[in-house]
Structure 1
């Protein structure tokens, strides 16, 4: 089954890191991505651009489109990146999420991905 490992961050936690800690974080992600790739578990991964570049789109009752700058949720934390992994079960996915350095600073969310039928959930 596929799982999204959603990496959250916030400006304060990132700003509080030293250059060495940022380098360590980058290195840890590279090592984990290499391991997941070698095991055939990594489907995709990416970091996301700063939330200031985000646009949120909604459609009103009259089918009018509204586009606003920034993320919809008013929160300090923002989605910073993701890994899409193929794991045997959620416990295996949680194990990889726990190894992400971001889990020490804010959070990594583990979420099962529904197949195209959407019926298994």
Structure 2
């Protein structure tokens, strides 16, 4: 079965990783950022070796989001940045092909153990099965 494993984050998290502290998170050092990248790379390498990795990507910061909605007049309404009420968004993801929910949960647990500076927020890692076809909707 295929699963989407999603890591969440906020704009303030991205800014902290660039060295800008806030009440939300301390500033990350270059060593903190490199430790995070090394952790994620090790996960990706291990998943590639087991054949479970389908795709994995980190996403650009929320400030770079473009949102397209349908206006009352039937025309597209385009805004830059996330909805103002949005706090956490997907920061990165893996598409995995795993034999069980238990296995993908083990992987998500490993993701949650990513090194970060003391005081940085912990965000959940969400797991969603990917539907194989219309039959999964029922």
Q: Count residues in correspondence.
A: 119
- Structure 1 unaligned runs (5+)? none
Partner residue of 1:51? 62
Question: What's the C-alpha RMSD, in Å, of the aligned pairs?
Answer: 2.0
Partner residue of 1:118? 134
Partner residue of 1:105? 122
Q: Retained in 2: the 8 A contact 1:13–1:105? A: no
- 1:114–1:61 CA distance, 2 compared to 1 (3 A): farther
Tell me the TM-score normalised to structure 1 length.
0.85
1:41-89 deviation digits (Å, cap 9, x = unpaired): 0000111111111111112454321111112362332211101000112
Q: Greater Rg, structure 1 or structure 2?
A: 2
Partner residue of 2:118? none
Give the structure with the higher percent strand: 1
Map 1:28-107; keep pairs closer than 5 Å. Answer: 28-60=39-71, 62-72=73-83, 74-100=85-111, 101=114, 105-107=122-124
Tell me the TM-score normalised to structure 2 length.
0.76
